[in-house]
Amino acid sequence: MTASDLRRSPLVWVAAAVLLLAVPTAALAVLDPVQVTGANGWVKPLKFELSIALYAVTLAWLVTRLRRGRRLAGALGTVAGALLVEMAIVLGAAALGTTSHFNTSTPAYAAAWAVMGASIAAVWLITAVVGVLLWRSPSGDAAFDLSVRAGVVVALAGMAVAFLMTYPTAQQLTDGRGIMGAHTVGAADGGPGLPLLGWSTAAGDLRVPHFVGMHALQALPLLVLALSLVARRWPAAAAVLTPRVRWQLVALASAGWAAALGLLTWQALVGQSVVAPAGAVLVVSSAVAAGLVGAVAVVVARARRAACGARGGGTAPALRPAAP
């Protein structure tokens, strides 16, 4: 698939459309003081617009990597247009000064929420199908293939965290307000949160693992790109960052990202804020982080020793930029 084909992808048009919407939405976030669950009502649709654009462009690019099944993947990509419907609902709710998610207070709001749920399920299925096709279409670069496969799997798990948000709390089942579900665990939605992101600083928040998991789809392939750029920029690094070493580093990063998703989900479900881990969550998270850093250090140290042995020297080569 050529760059021209990529530009004609319906997914790219979806991304362009929501990015255009982001301009007036950002202006409204500044000019219109509407509040929804204690926060600026226009910030949520703005975050959705940016997230949908990133997802659509990423999926369109992944489709270009396929050797087989491009026609099927392309057809499935058109279903991503359902995201525009979801975006319209989120924007409409902000304009009405109400919440779009979990809102079943009227038949109209309940129907809109059901449409959004169907759109989310369709996006999950699209990603899963493209992931299967990518698994069956190796590129010849083991590190890149691993980054894409792991990225899709972790992203699907991160997207699935959203389904945990749809369970109503005990209070919601009895208060009759028509809100069935929440982002926050251990407190009501709308409390103190991080700037812009809105993640709760007082209780657990399932949006954190949802966000982290979804963006494995971008972060892990970008890691491969970064390692390749370092190898090209620093000739001595090319001897260290062999295909095997790059694969090992990507494998560790993938395991670490998956572990972070699991730990953040655990932290949210026990009602701990992302900025205040404590108890077993803190202990296990620290152990995992230390183990990951140690494993990376071991891989790099072994690779440097191997590079020195290949050169017949006694010390590791200095990493100096290549001459322009």
pLDDT one-digit tens code per residue, 87-107: 889 998 888 888 888 888 889
Q: Is residue 109 part of a domain?
A: yes
Q: Which domain holds residue 59?
A: 3-234
Q: Residue 12's pLDDT is what? A: 85
Q: Is residue 245 part of a domain?
A: no
Q: Is residue 29 part of a domain?
A: yes
Number of structural domains the chain divides into: 1
Q: Quickly list DSSP for 250-304.
A: HHHHHHHHHHHHHHHHHHHHTT--TT---HHHHHHHHHHHHHHHHHHHHHHHHHH
Q: Is residue 226 part of a domain?
A: yes
Q: Report the distance separating Cα 104 and Cα 107, nearest Å.
A: 7
Q: Residue 324's pLDDT is what? A: 45
| 178 burial via Cβ count (<10 Å: 0-12, 13-18, 19+) | middle
Compute the C-alpha angle 114/117/120, nearest 5°.
155
Phi, psi of 179 (to 5 degrees): -110, 120
Identify the helix (H) or strand (E) that includes residue 214.
helix 207-214
Q: Is residue 297 part of a domain?
A: no
Q: Is residue 296 part of a domain?
A: no
Low-confidence spans in the chain with pLDDT less than 70: 1-8, 69-70, 73-80, 176, 310-324
Q: Is residue 117 part of a domain?
A: yes
Q: Is residue 309 part of a domain?
A: no
Q: Residue 225's pLDDT is what? A: 92
